[in-house]
Amino acid sequence: MAPGGGGAAGARHLYVHLPFCGHRCAYCDFASEPLAVHLASGRVELYLGRVREEFAAADESLAPALETIYLGGGTPTALPREWLLPFVAALAERLQPGGEFTVEANPETVDRHLLEELRAAGVNRLSLGIQSFSEELRRTLGRRVPQAAVDGALAAVRETGWPEWSLDLVYGIPGASGDDLRSDVERALDSGPSHISLYDLTYTDSFVARLRRRSGPQTRELAEAVAEEHYAQVVDRLEEAGYRRYEVSNFAIPGHESRHNQAYWRLRDYLGVGAAAVSTVGLRRWTNPRRVRAYLEGRPPEAETLDERTKLVERAMLGLRTREGVAMAEVGLVLDENGLARMLEAGFARLEDGYLRLGRRGLDLSTSVIADLLLLD
């Protein structure tokens, strides 16, 4: 069996990319395109059909029953319901009993009826992108989401008794104070999600340009300093409230971790379909064209063959981001002995029962700590 699992039985995890958004936010680094343009041209229907074809053609790479399905974007729930719901139901037919089916959503696209329809179609987990409860801070991000839409989406989740859902927040937003960050976390906790993701702001080229026009060049440094100063308090508050930090940016009530994301971090085989989607099965990896037009034109994916050492490095890099860490017997060949000694001595990492794990501060500084631990050349 190749590293990462799967083997001849095929991948048990499926990612489907729907790259359409009502509005593209300045900070977004994902493959997304304006929905209205593609609706007007008829490309949305064509795209869904093309994804179905790709999924069917890749059937030999998949296990008969899937453990997880993740429908991401873009904003999947921005699509017309008459197209989205049958598409979701067809995917759900491949999910094993008790499997996890996640759909990403933005607040302005969610209401009680849609949630009920998604559940009836087979979805059992929601990932809701709030980013901030402050309308002013959302405007800084370029998000055109009124407060009424945020409140309405959260009310819909409560009213439907949605069982599993994650709430996304972004920290380090320019202009945010420590009080703003703490307020976002308290409001998130009051909303009662089973899972909270707390992401560092991505400074895309478009967001940097927007920031310079609005605020001047020093704003980023100030925002990052505020975030660093208060982040530890936020982590403490989430864990005090019963949310276990099981990955650098992800917190969950025990038993409610994202099984799909855990598959990535454990380097399990997975299939990705749609524009920009990546697949890794055994030692094969391929990436679909990023743009919708190129994907619809049938341009071939970029393919590569991985070697065993690359898989081990990836397994270590991803696994060390998690609370469970990685087995020394599995990744010992790609660890730097000197770097390991330094990180252990500094308390950033620890060895327990044959596993290498990062400590609290090690997770906070995971990028630099993991780089020190691995033989990357």
Q: Range with the lowest mean pLDDT among 89-98, 174-183, 256-265, 341-350?
A: 174-183
Average pLDDT on 281-310 reads 96
pLDDT for the residue 264: 96
pLDDT for the residue 200: 87
| Residue 215 confidence class, pLDDT cut points 50, 70, 90 | low
4 has a pLDDT exceeding 50: no
6 has a pLDDT exceeding 60: no
Kind and range of the H or E run holding 104 = strand 95-105
pLDDT digits (tens, 9 = 90+) for 228-275: 888 889 999 999 999 999 999 999 999 999 999 999 999 999 999 999
| Residue 217 confidence class, pLDDT cut points 50, 70, 90 | low
2 has a pLDDT exceeding 80: no
Q: All domains of the chain, ordered by start, with CATH?
A: 7-264 (3.30.750.200), 307-377 (1.10.10)
pLDDT for the residue 5: 38
322 has a pLDDT exceeding 50: yes
Q: Range with the lowest mean pLDDT among 42-56, 178-192, 202-216?
A: 202-216
| Residue 27 confidence class, pLDDT cut points 50, 70, 90 | confident
pLDDT for the residue 208: 76
Average pLDDT on 40-53 reads 96
pLDDT for the residue 70: 98
Instruction: Round to whole Å and give the CA distance between 287 and 184.
Output: 36
30 has a pLDDT exceeding 90: no
pLDDT for the residue 229: 82
Q: Is 277 exposed, middle or buried (0-12, 13-18, 19+ CB in 10 A)?
A: buried
Average pLDDT, the chain: 92
Residue of 54, 18, 20, 16 whose CA lies nearest to 38: 20
Calculate what percentage of the chain has a pLDDT beyond 70.
96
216 has a pLDDT exceeding 70: no
pLDDT for the residue 205: 75
8 has a pLDDT exceeding 80: no
Helices (H), the chain: 35-41, 43-57, 81-92, 112-121, 135-141, 147-160, 178-191, 205-214, 219-240, 259-265, 292-296, 308-319, 328-331, 337-346, 360-364, 366-373
